[in-house]
Structures are given as structure tokens and as C-alpha cells.
């Protein structure tokens, strides 16, 4: 009987193992070709693996196991995919499912059997006992009344009762949840701590009047959607503004390799994406040659791949600069951490209407704080401030991007 091995696929030279995070199928299921089978978490990415052929699957590893690259985690019996027995079992289960409500309906609709009626003498005796007990409760003897009035519950007893109730209402195990960090989360933690320890990190701030960009989006959004099939967002403006600033201040487009300074002459920009598994930074390639629509499409594609667990290692490598947008979560101001080995990162924040002074007049404008964290070993303060001012100018007057000024 032909069997197909399901192995952990190669993920890159630096990845040798991972965690089998989740099975999408159960042991003994009939799977189809290209059907997602499992999710693998590594220290860099989380990805899905699909079936290479149809058949009956037998699992050889459990969710949560650490697995090596090339390890066999399941077997697919390809002969079982087209057997009449399997098809008949499926059809039988469907027919049973359809007939189940009809079988269960009479039982569900049948009223509960009425309890046997109490004979009249017994009922009268029970009623007399109840009335006697009521009268005893209503008219306690004078001594009992004084005891009831003289013995109110003490405050200490009340607190003990309340504490006991709270403990009863909080079952054991609900106050804490403990789980091991995923390889991706461990790697993120290591990189962030390393960035703070190794780089001479500093942050400079500015604010951007978003009126011009918002006016452009309002004016051309419908035409942009009709032509390109997606909306014109803010991120494409920021990507183009960053590329323009990197050209004007090339020191920011550099990185350290040991004791060597490496100057980059290309513009592959990373865009931070928040996923359930952690923060990922897919890279948009050759942004200097891309138009706004192409940038928006590229961002949408890599963001969807990251959230669906289908991102590839090559999608995350080689960026020269990163943009992160905490504004989508409501952040007003932050100091983003550099993504090594890059020398700088730009933080976007929420847009907020604020009073600002323009030409001697106080007006209300949609303002955004922006932050540039940079490695002071490579980038001087003058260069960092100049870079951020160039970004601000391009965003407040987008015509500069067309004229490269």
C-alpha cells in the first residue's frame, strides 16, 4: 500500500528546528491535495505546510512537539483517498446526520411525565405540617426573639464569609495561565534586548500636519480604488517620504558589520505587521522604483501572508529601514526600537486634531507625532534631525516627492 511521508520542510540555512504549533487535521482524516496540514513555528517565521497528495493521514507527532527539519511527522495513505469504503462511510455519516433530528425530535418534544398526585389525606397532612412550621417561624418564643436580636453576625465573620465566597467563585487555575514562549516570541525578545544593549540608541521627535495627505486621499480615493482595486492608505506616502529622505541623508541608509561601515544604495523598506504570533517585518523591495499603487499592493500582500502564517523567510530579509505604525492602536507617542542590523526606524502615531499656530493664526489641524530612533554610532544627531525634517516636509507637501526637492 503506497504511503507518502509528510516531512518538516527546509526553512532556511539558519533554521534547524521548530515547534509543531497546530494540526489542521486529525489522525485518520481523509485529506485533499494542497490542503493545509499543520503550522510550524520557528525563531523567525510561522508557516503552513500542505498535503502533497490526497489520502488518509496518520499523525506521527503531536501539537507542541519540537521537530527537526526533515523529520517525518505524518504518513498519507494515498490508496485510501479513492476507496469506495471511504466514500460510503462519508455518505453514511451524512445520512445519519440528516436523520438525527427526526429521531431525536419525539424524545425532545415528549413532555415530562406528570408526577403522581398526592392523595387528599396525605396532602392535607402535608399542608398542616407546612402551616405549623410557618407559624413556628412567624411566632418564635420571646426568648428566641431576644437571642436573635442579641446575636448579630460579627464583622470578622462577615469578612470570612465574603472571602470564602470569593474563593469559591474563583476556581483554581483561572487566576493564572502559564505557557512556554513560542520560538518566534523568544527570538523577538532576544533581538529587542540585543538592540538596546548593542546599539547607542537615541530618539528624535517631530510632528506632521496631515492635512495635505488627507485632502489628496479624499479627492482621489474613488478613482484610485476603481483603477487599482484597493484603497490609498497613509503607509505608501510614508514609504515614499522615507525613500526620499534616505537619498538626501545616506548616513541613515548604512549599517555596521563588525568594524566595517556598510553603505546601502538600494531602498528595501520593512513595514512592521502585528500578528497573533508576534511582530513581523516584511520587506517591500525596490521602493524607489515603485508607484503608490504598487507599494499599497505589496504591503497588503505581505501583511496578509504574515497574518495567515504563510510568510517566507525571504520576505523578512534584507531591509535597510523599518516603518512601524503604533497609531492604528491609538498610540500618541513612542520610542520604537531599531530592527538590527538597520541603523534607524520611523514610528508613526495616531492622527489627532490639535490647535497649531500657522501664519500667526491658531487653527485646528490633523497632527501626527513621528519618532526616529537611530544608532548614534552610525548616525549623528544632525543627520537624524535632518532626515526626520525631510520626511516631515515630504508629507506636508507631497509635491516635493514628484520634484525630488
Task: Yes or no: say if 281 and 272 are a contact pair by the CB < 8 Å rule.
Answer: yes
Active site residue 308: no
Three-state DSSP at 364 gives strand
Q: How many CB atoms lie within 10 A of CB 110?
A: 8
pLDDT given for residue 204 in this prediction: 97
34, 92, 308, 376: which one is catalytic?
376
Q: Are the C-beta atoms of residues 272 and 283 closer than 8 Å to each other? A: no
At residue 111, the pLDDT reads 43
3-class state of residue 157 by DSSP: helix
* pLDDT of res. 144: 45
**pLDDT tier at 403 (50, 70, 90 boundaries)?**
confident
Q: Is 203 exposed, middle or buried (0-12, 13-18, 19+ CB in 10 A)?
A: middle
For 156, which DSSP code? H
N-terminal to C-terminal alpha carbon distance within the chain: 70
> What would the mean pLDDT of 234-239 be, rounded to a whole number?
96
Question: Which of 1-5, 245-249, 351-355 shows the lowest mean pLDDT across its residues?
Answer: 1-5
pLDDT tens string 114-136: 444 444 444 444 444 544 544 44
DSSP 3-state assignment of 77? strand
Distance CA 270, CA 233 (A): 16
pTM score, whole prediction = 0.65
In the structure, what pLDDT confidence band is assigned to residue 13 with cuts at 50, 70 and 90? low
Q: Hey, what domains does the chain have and what are their CATH numbers?
A: 3-82 (2.40.50.100), 183-403 (3.30.559.10)
Residues found in the chain: 405
Q: What is the mean pLDDT of residues 243-249?
A: 97
The answer, yes or no, to whether residue 221 has pLDDT greater than 80, is: yes
| Measured distance CA(121)–CA(194) in Å, rounded | 87
pLDDT digits (tens, 9 = 90+) for 321-359: 999 999 999 999 999 999 989 999 999 999 999 999 999
Distances (CA, A) of 232 to 97, 285, 298, 379: 48, 19, 12, 32
Q: What is the dihedral of CA 227, 230, 235, 241, to 10 degrees?
A: -10
- Distance in angstroms (rounded) separating the CA atoms of residues 391 and 206: 10
Catalytic residue among 65, 222, 308, 380: 380
Q: Let me know if 4 is exposed, middle or buried by CB neighbors in 10 A (0-12, 13-18, 19+).
A: middle
Contact 55, 76 (CB under 8 A): yes
Decide: 63 and 20 in contact? Cβ < 8 Å. yes
User: For residue 147, is pLDDT > 70?
Assistant: no
Peptide bond into 214 cis (omega under 30): no
DSSP reduced 3-state for 234: coil
pLDDT value at position 158?
52
- DSSP-derived letter for residue 74 is E
Q: Given a cut of 50, is residue 397 above it in pLDDT?
A: yes
Which residues, listed in sequence order, are joined to residue 3 by a DSSP beta bridge? 77
Beta bridge partners of 22: 39
Quick: pLDDT tens for 148-193.
444 455 555 555 555 545 544 555 568 888 877 777 777 778 777 8
pLDDT number for residue 104: 41
Instruction: Flag whether pLDDT at 404 surpasses 80.
Output: no
Query: Is the model more confident about 185 or about 213?
Result: 213
Q: Tens digits of per-residue pLDDT, 27-57?
A: 999 999 989 898 888 766 777 888 899 999 9
Residue 376 designated active-site: yes
Round the average pLDDT of the chain to a whole number and report it: 80
| 79 sits in which H/E element | none
Amino acid at each position: 500500500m503506497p504511503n507518502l511521508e509528510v516531512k518538516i520542510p527546509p526553512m532556511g540555512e539558519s533554521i534547524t528546528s521548530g515547534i509543531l504549533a497546530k494540526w489542521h487535521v486529525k489522525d485518520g482524516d481523509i485529506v485533499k491535495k494542497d490542503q493545509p496540514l499543520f503550522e510550524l513555528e520557528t525563531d523567525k517565521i510561522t508557516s503552513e505546510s500542505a498535503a502533497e497528495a490526497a489520502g488518509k493521514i496518520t499523525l506521527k507527532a503531536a501539537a507542541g512537539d519540537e521537530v527537526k527539519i526533515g523529520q517525518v511527522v505524518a504518513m498519507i495513505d494515498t490508496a485510501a483517498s479513492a476507496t469506495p469504503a471511504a466514500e460510503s462511510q462519508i455518505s453514511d455519516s451524512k445520512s445519519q446526520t440528516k436523520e438525527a433530528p427526526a429521531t431525536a425530535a419525539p424524545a425532545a418534544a415528549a413532555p415530562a411525565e406528570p408526577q403522581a398526585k398526592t392523595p387528599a389525606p396525605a396532602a392535607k397532612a402535608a399542608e398542616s405540617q407546612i402551616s405549623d412550621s410557618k407559624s413556628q417561624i412567624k411566632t418564635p418564643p420571646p426568648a428566641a426573639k431576644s437571642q436573635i436580636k442579641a446575636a448579630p453576625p460579627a464583622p470578622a465573620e462577615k469578612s470570612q464569609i465574603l472571602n470564602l465566597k470569593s474563593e469559591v467563585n474563583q476556581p483554581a487555575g483561572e487566576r493564572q495561565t502559564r505557557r512556554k514562549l513560542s520560538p518566534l516570541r523568544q527570538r523577538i525578545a532576544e533581538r529587542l534586548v540585543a538592540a538596546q544593549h548593542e546599539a547607542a540608541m537615541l530618539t528624535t521627535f517631530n510632528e506632521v500636519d496631515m492635512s495635505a495627505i488627507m485632502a489628496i486621499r479624499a479627492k482621489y480615493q474613488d478613482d484610485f480604488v476603481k483603477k487599482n482595486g484597493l484603497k490609498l492608505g497613509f503607509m505608501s506616502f510614508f514609504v515614499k517620504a522615507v525613500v526620499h529622505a534616505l537619498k538626501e541623508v545616506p548616513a541613515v541608509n548604512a549599517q555596521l558589520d563588525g568594524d566595517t561601515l556598510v553603505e546601502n544604495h538600494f531602498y528595501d523598506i520593512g513595514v512592521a505587521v502585528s500578528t497573533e504570533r508576534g511582530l513581523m517585518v516584511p520587506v517591500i523591495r525596490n521602493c524607489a522604483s515603485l508607484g503608490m499603487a504598487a507599494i499599497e499592493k505589496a504591503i497588503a500582500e505581505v501583511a496578509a501572508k504574515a497574518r495567515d502564517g504563510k510568510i517566507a523567510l525571504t520576505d523578512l530579509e534584507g531591509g535597510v529601514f523599518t516603518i512601524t505604525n503604533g497609531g492604528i492602536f491609538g498610540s500618541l507617542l513612542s520610542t520604537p526600537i531599531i530592527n538590527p542590523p538597520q541603523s534607524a526606524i520611523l514610528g508613526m502615531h495616531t492622527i489627532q486634531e490639535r490647535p497649531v499656530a500657522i501664519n500667526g493664526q491658531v487653527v485646528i489641524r490633523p497632527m501626527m507625532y513621528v519618532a526616529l530612533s537611530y544608532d548614534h554610532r552610525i548616525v549623528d544627531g544632525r543627520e537624524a534631525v535632518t532626515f526626520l525634517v525631510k520626511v516631515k516636509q515630504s508629507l506636508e507637501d507631497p509635491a516635493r516627492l514628484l520634484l525630488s526637492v
